[in-house]
């Protein structure tokens, strides 16, 4: 039976995702920005939460962890490198560790950059990636706790995944990201098309998730810092890709589009 997913808008622009194995009825939530929307979704579906998967320690991803754990007795799984900053952590995981939600077995990928200990959850059998704040639709997180090249190397890990992997990220930043992508690379047809689609979806208050690795490889400038044409457009011909990425990330932080 196919995996069951529910995308849950939270706060101003966050997402949580429910992941359920219909055979065992094991149910996980990936990140908990706030309690009420997640609890409402669980009660609406009549699902019992068994696992809480945490990508990183920022408050807008863990604020509801303790309350949901107390209500359901759910097992909390998160990055070992951030175990002292994630409440109620039961299992501290590292790169390559398996994560089982019933019969759904994923694995942890360490993707430092946005935070030092950031992880993502890859469920290869289900063709799913929960990327937290490492990879967004047409964007990436800010490198708050690491130098930008660290985040670039993490994005390269994700870029190497199969094109058909669906990506669920932690925020609805797509329109802003798309406008930036078109700004820095106006000739990229994939970025222009993705932005048009995103604007239409948001006009109807619909989410722009999921994306896919293949779509991001074509439309996301942060995955193309090693593209010579893009580097030239930024005035950085022959520059190291990490330097191009650093410039892209700095430009995005200043972008008001």
**Residue whose token pair is 């000739």:** 187
Query: 21, 31, 51, 58: which is the annotated catalytic residue?
Result: 58
Is 183 a known active-site residue? no
Query: 21, 31, 133, 185: which is the annotated catalytic residue?
Result: 133
Is 60 a known active-site residue? yes
Query: 56, 57, 118, 185: which is the annotated catalytic residue?
Result: 56
- List C-alpha distances in Å: 237 to 55, 68, 228, 232, 250: 35, 50, 7, 5, 17
| Residues 180/257, Cβ–Cβ less than 8 Å | yes
- 206: helix, coil or strand? coil
Query: 51, 57, 114, 118: which is the annotated catalytic residue?
Result: 114
Is 171 a known active-site residue? yes
Is 57 a known active-site residue? no
Q: What's the residue count for the chain? A: 257
Query: 31, 51, 57, 61: which is the annotated catalytic residue?
Result: 61
Query: 60, 97, 226, 227: which is the annotated catalytic residue?
Result: 60
Beta-sheet strands, E only, within the chain: 4-10, 14-20, 27-30, 51-53, 75-79, 91-93, 98-101, 104-110, 119-123, 128-132, 135-136, 139-140, 166-169, 211-212
Q: Which two tokens stand for residue 172?
A: 């609805």
Is 118 a known active-site residue? no
Question: b/e for 194-205, b at 16 or more Cβ within 10 A?
Answer: bbeebeebeeee
**Active site members:** 56, 58, 60-61, 114, 133, 171
């Amino acid at each position: 039976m196919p995996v069951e997913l529910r995308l849950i808008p939270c706060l101003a622009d966050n997402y949580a995702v429910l992941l359920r194995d219909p055979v065992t009825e094991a149910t996980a939530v990936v990140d908990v920005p706030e309690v009420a929307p997640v609890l409402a979704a669980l009660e609406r579906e009549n699902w019992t939460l068994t696992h809480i998967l945490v990508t990183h320690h920022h408050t807008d991803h863990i604020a509801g962890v303790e309350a949901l754990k107390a209500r359901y007795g759910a097992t909390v799984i998160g990055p070992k490198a951030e175990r002292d900053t994630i409440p109620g952590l039961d299992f501290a995981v590292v790169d390559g560790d398996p994560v089982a939600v019933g019969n759904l077995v994923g694995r942890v990928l360490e993707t430092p950059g946005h935070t030092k200990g950031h992880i993502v959850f890859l469920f290869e059998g289900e063709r799913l990636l929960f990327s937290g704040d490492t990879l967004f639709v047409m964007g990436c997180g800010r490198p708050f706790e690491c130098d930008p090249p660290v985040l670039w190397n993490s994005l390269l890990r994700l870029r190497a995944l199969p094109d058909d992997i669906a990506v669920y990220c932690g925020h609805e930043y797509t329109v802003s990201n798309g406008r930036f992508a078109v700004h820095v690379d106006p000739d990229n047809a994939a970025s222009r098309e993705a932005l048009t689609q995103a604007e239409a979806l948001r006009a109807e208050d619909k989410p722009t998730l999921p994306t896919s690795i293949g779509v991001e490889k074509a439309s996301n400038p942060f995955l193309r810092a090693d593209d010579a044409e893009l580097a030239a457009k930024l005035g950085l011909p022959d520059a190291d890709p990490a330097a191009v990425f650093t410039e892209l990330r700095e430009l995005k932080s200043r972008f008001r589009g």
